């Protein structure tokens, strides 16, 4: 049986910029810096639909003899429809400004956790496609995880002094949410299913660690006393009438 050899003379792969130790360089290349600092070089045209961007990429890959079945190679020819580097290919951005990519990943992750990310529009379609492409590279994922592990926690006097950071109570502290739990907001937060390590999730963990409310115990304990008192008064009244 003859083996079928698939040969793509025009196949292209990402060439990351690396430092002396082999780590990814996060600083922008000279070309990226020139575009970033010169608005005249930035593409201001309206964002194009995702389908049109994909068709153009297919044309480019086929024309140069690349492998259209390779998703990374195909998406590498997608053209950015957002930001200062709009008009450049996905592959170009990976090769010229990894630091900007890490910033985009962090920004979108935070907005999604806080429920602030709006995925509507051609620009956002392009952004999400690009992040899918970028995070398909192990080098990008490894760098992102490494930077997260080195990120210092925000200094606070105590855990209870953390700010909520989302919703209508964004500027309140965790302590304030607990102390005003009678308004039902704490119960609402505890009832929401959310992403692990998100701001809401961390608030939930704090609320769950708080001691059980004493109000319910007091109320339960006072009920028999109150009932006994009422019965005593009724008995006295009946006794008085009989006399």
Structure token pair of residue 156: 């606070």
| Measured distance CA(129)–CA(80) in Å, rounded | 9
Q: Where are the domains of the chain?
A: 30-149, 159-209
pLDDT at 165: 83
Structure token pair of residue 229: 């008192």
Model confidence pLDDT, tens digit, residues 46-84: 999 999 999 999 999 999 999 999 999 999 999 999 999
How would you write the pLDDT of the chain (243 residues) with one tens digit per residue? 555 556 888 899 999 999 999 999 999 999 999 999 999 999 999 999 999 999 999 999 999 999 999 999 999 999 999 999 999 999 999 999 999 999 999 999 888 877 788 888 999 999 999 999 999 999 999 999 999 888 765 565 688 888 888 888 988 999 999 999 999 999 999 998 877 778 888 999 999 999 876 544 444 444 444 433 443 443 343 333 344
Q: Enter the pTM of the model.
A: 0.62
């Amino acid at each position: 049986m003859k083996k079928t050899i698939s040969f793509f003379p025009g196949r292209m792969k990402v060439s990351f910029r690396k430092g002396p130790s082999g780590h990814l360089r996060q600083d922008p290349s000279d070309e990226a810096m020139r575009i970033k600092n010169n608005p005249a070089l930035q593409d201001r045209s309206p964002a194009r639909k995702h389908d049109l961007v994909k068709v153009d990429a297919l044309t480019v890959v086929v024309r140069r003899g690349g492998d259209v079945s390779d998703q990374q190679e195909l998406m590498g020819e997608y053209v950015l429809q957002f930001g200062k580097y709009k008009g450049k290919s996905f592959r170009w951005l990976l090769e010229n400004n990894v630091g900007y990519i890490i910033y985009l990943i962090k920004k979108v992750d935070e907005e999604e956790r806080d429920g602030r990310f709006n995925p509507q529009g051609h620009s956002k379609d392009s952004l999400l496609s690009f992040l899918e492409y970028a995070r398909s590279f192990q080098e990008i994922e490894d760098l992102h995880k490494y930077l997260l592990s080195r990120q210092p926690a925000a200094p606070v006097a105590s855990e209870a002094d953390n700010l909520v950071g989302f919703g209508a109570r964004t500027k309140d502290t965790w302590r304030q949410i607990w102390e005003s739990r009678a308004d039902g907001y704490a119960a609402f937060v505890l009832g929401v299913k959310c992403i692990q390590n998100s701001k809401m999730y961390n608030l939930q963990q704090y609320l769950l660690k708080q001691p059980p409310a004493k109000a319910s115990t007091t109320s339960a304990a006072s009920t028999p006393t109150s009932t006994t008192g009422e019965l005593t008064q009724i008995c006295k009244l009946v006794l008085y009438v009989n006399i």
